[in-house]
Chain A
Amino acid sequence: MGKIFCKPVSLSDQATHYCPGCTHGVIHRLVAEVIDELGVRGRTVGIAPVGCAVLAYNYFTFDFQEAAHGRAPAMATGIKRVRPDLIVFTYQGDGDLASIGMSEIIHAANRGEKFTTVFVNNAVYGMTGGQMAPTTMPNQRTTTSPFGRNVEEVGMPIKVAELISALETPAFISRQSVIKPKYVVRAKKAIKRAFQYQIEKRCFSLVEVVSTCPTNWGMTPVEAVQWAEDVMHPYYQLGDKKSPDPIKDKED
């Protein structure tokens, strides 16, 4: 009997620098599986963000460029415009994409750039040490909101998937989660669709992934999963927000 489950060719053997309980590893694997399955590794270019995932290129085994904070969609635009045959994706966190890079992501999406964005939302800045992000939940304590996010002062968390879905330009926008196996299966389907739309040169695609950061949330991995399900899922509703095809999947 042959092997029926193995590490994707698109993932390296490098030991991870991500913290215990962090879901970046799961998301990396999903992206790698999708790239393997679609057979595009030889013409894929990933764009690493600033944040924990800046080192993503240590784990993927294809060409990569490293962007500055928030600028990955502009960089991906540059690549895709001059080499439309390459498969390009940005892998960005919430501080990177939803704060300093808001302009770049909105305009790339609005121009209908034919690349894919994997947007990891863990409600906090990770690498800089757990500061408040635009996605931080109301009353959530972080190192820069030590008394909890005060929405009177800094507003409500930004729902990126819904915000970008409001643009008139056709796109595939979906929010998924990877905190439990059932969500992981759906997240993979969405990421695969996102890349397929790119390969078909149909539209911009973005998959927001609700994720955990036990270290900066001050929780055990198990508590973090529970908190994400109890606090983040009700606010960040899962499901497809916009699609060039009729939306079939219903939200949970």
Chain B
Amino acid sequence: MGKILMKGNEAIGEAAIRAGCLNYFAYPITPQSEVAEYLARRMPEAGGVFLQGESEVAVSYMIFGASGCGERAFTTSSSPGISLMAEGMSYIAGGECPAVFVNIMRGGPGLGGILPSQADYLQATKGAGHGDYRMLVLAPASVQEAVEMVMTAFPLAEKYRNPVMILGDGLIGQMMEPVEFPDHLKTEPSNKDDWATNGMDTRKSDRRNLVKSLYLDPELLNSHNLKLKAKYDRMKREEIRYETYHTESDYRVLIVSYGTMSRVCRTAIDELRSQRLDVAMVRPKTVFPFPEQAVLVASEKESCEQVISIEMSMGQMVEDVERSVRGKRQVHWFGKCGGEVPTPEEVIDAIKALVK
């Protein structure tokens, strides 16, 4: 199949169907309501389930129920809605079920605004809900990448039996770009008979399955948490994804940026290099696990004087960048979080101010 022009939100909905997920539950919220509008028509056509829930809270448990009984399920929302779903995410992680959540971020706090933002970085990467758990968080920088990440998210969620989040800023959802749905990313759901509540009749033995997160015995809860930790440690070993830009030659400044913001940074880097100011970039594609080693190595380059985290937030990813750089270089932050994406000129000014 060739490329077609699609809006990010609609492409995300289509990608889930192409990935083999036919169950979608959602609650409307700007700027991602087009996913629900698209799937309200498309899901029945594909023979799947579409249901508009009464709240984001309820939706997160509809996902939990569906995935707990062994079926692929996903939802999409935006920042305030994700806060409400965070309760369910914690229970899903505790109950060790796969699930896919898409957050098309808008500005906050509170109602904030409806324009693009990256202000939910800490929420997404440090847990969102209560308790000791993490989600695998994929951050697309284009509609095509959003499609591929959505399609990859389902087998990843099943591999870890843990929620996976697609963290896109509002622009990813709203803009139209040419996309292709790669057939090779369609996967069959993994066998869930040994844990899912799909009815005892489906199993040969008389064993019943139980999906739960309550462990009243402190020793049992501790070992449950150690088991979860082992999964997050495994994600750090096996799932880190990132892209580098001009890190092979010398550079004075290293940018760390993700999502739409990283595309603006690319343009800025090209312009700066044409003005003979060498700048490079590491773009995390997974923000949890964070590409610590890649950022550390890039920052340790002899020519590298400073590191700057450029993000559409008031300085959230910068904490992970500082942690990765381990004090070996000065780490700065530049960003905006009102809904406007910083322009290449603004990025250029911020970089020039650093190397004066």
A residues with a Cβ closer than 8 A to B are 41-45, 47-48, 54-55, 57, 61-68, 71, 74-83, 85-86, 103-104, 106-107
Contacts and interface: CB of A to CB of B under 8 A. Distances in A.
Contacts of A66: 95, 210-214
B197 A45 contact: yes
Contacts of A74: 53, 57-62, 65
Task: Classify the interface of chain B: helix, strand, loop or mixed.
Answer: mixed
Interface in B33-51: 49, 51
A67 B61 contact: yes
Interface string B57-89: 111111111111111010000000000000110
A43 B63 CA distance: 20
Contacts of B197: 45, 63-65, 79
Nearest to B94: A66
Contacts of B65: 47, 65, 74-80
Given A62-B200, A65-B211, A75-B62, A82 B49 contact: yes
Contacts of B57: 71, 74, 103-104
Contact of B62 (A54, A78, A86, A103): A78
Contacts, number: 128
Contacts of B54: 103-104, 106-107
B217 interface: no
A42 B199 CA distance: 6
Given A78-B63, A81-B66, A86-B69, A63 B198 contact: yes
Given A61-B208, A67-B61, A71-B61, A79 B66 contact: yes
6 contacts: A43-B201, A65-B212, A74-B53, A74-B60, A78-B68, A81-B62
B156 to A, nearest CB: 20
B73 A63 contact: no
B154 interface: no
B225 interface: no
A41 B88 CA distance: 27
A57 B64 CA distance: 17
B133 interface: no
B324 interface: no
